[in-house]
Amino acid sequence: MVEKQENQPAQSGDRRRFLQQVSAGIAAGGFLKQTGSAATAGQTRLAQGGEAHASIVLGQKAEPFYRWVAEELQRYVRLLSGAELLIVTAAESHSKGTRILLGGPKSNEMVAEAQQKKLIEFTGLKKDGFLIQSLNLDGEPVVVVGGNDEAATMYAAYELLERLGVVFQLTNDI
């Protein structure tokens, strides 16, 4: 007879329940500290208890590739936390909860606004370079996840997911 150790779930269903209880919000708390002059000492939450506390914001004229990257973020956060993040455009964006601004200043007008206000800077990035940064934009928490082109933005999104706890492998994802 195999005994279950206290700290390790015995079945994948137990792991899924554990991850839903912990949620992406707690996993993200360790690195998504708000920065900048208007920042508070609080943590940025994406989800908690299976409930979304964030939305993914695309630029008004974002190419289909950015939508695909947003759907990848949405899918993995749902797997981690059980919460379904909404995907909206900058015009549809509401100030309820954290907004994940996906893309660079050329593809997302809200990111361009943050750069114009000197809250974030993309001009010094090398090819395939990206940023993941939490800040306050107009008094609201945002997480900028992007680069100067599609590939760099995709790299930023997958880096964010890895920081949330996703492990990408050739055979499967954990």
**pLDDT tens readout for residues 121-148:** 999 999 999 999 999 999 899 999 999 9
Beta pairing partners, 168: 173
The whole-number pLDDT of residue 95 equals 65
* Residues 28-80: tens digit of each pLDDT: 433 343 334 333 345 678 888 888 899 999 999 999 999 999 999 999 999 99
- pTM equals 0.76
56 φ, ψ (degrees, to nearest 5): -100, 125
The whole-number pLDDT of residue 48 equals 85
